[in-house]
Amino acid sequence: MITDSRRDAMDEAQKKLLQTGYISRHRVFRWWFAEEPYRNFDQTDAAQMQFLLNRSSKISLNDAEGKLVIRQGEIMTQEKLNTAQAARGSVLGKLYSGNGGNNLILNINEAAQSVAKLGNPADASRLWRFVFYREQVQPLGHLDYTLYIRNDIAGLYRQFADLVPYPISQP
């Protein structure tokens, strides 16, 4: 399996190998919609970043891949905080907690503010239409991929048996 963007980045020799030695089926891996319309109620990241901005970090922290995001004693600039926010493994939340922030109090505060924002009729209506009617605010998106199966074993799979001259079990 390979995503379309990775396949398109291959060199010509690799593409030729896939075209000649494999059968392929193009698929849509997942459909999704923009989560921003209903996630905008939560401004936790912005609050954490504001709290941390221009402070000296009390901890060193790595992301999920083990790459150092910030060293102990390093000043937390906007650039460093953006990197922490984008990193996998809840790095910004860990950075916030490790530098004296309290996620429980922040989350309770954010939840209360989110409920208060639903007092705005337009926001409440948009959320209602999404939850009950699945009305999308933005167009759907997707991630496409292509499944490749080697020609010599494609007959083992019933759904691909029509793509090879004979099933693999026959001479």
Q: Which two tokens stand for residue 149?
A: 């199966």
Contact status, residue 92 vs residue 85, Cβ threshold 8 Å: yes
**Whole-model pTM?**
0.41
| Cα–Cα distance measured from residue 134 to residue 163, given in angstroms and rounded to the nearest whole number | 39
Q: What is the per-residue pLDDT across 73-86, written as a single tens digit (0 to 9) for each?
A: 999 899 988 888 88
In this predicted structure, the answer to whether residue 12 has a pLDDT above a threshold of 60 is: yes
Least confident residue range of 32-41, 46-55, 130-139 = 32-41
**Residue 11 pLDDT grade (very low, low, confident, very high; cuts 50, 70, 90):** very high
Q: Which two tokens stand for residue 2?
A: 């390979």
Instruction: Based on DSSP, count helices (H) and strands (E) in the chain, helices before strands.
Output: 8, 5
Q: Is 109 exposed, middle or buried (0-12, 13-18, 19+ CB in 10 A)?
A: middle
Mean pLDDT confidence for 87-108: 74
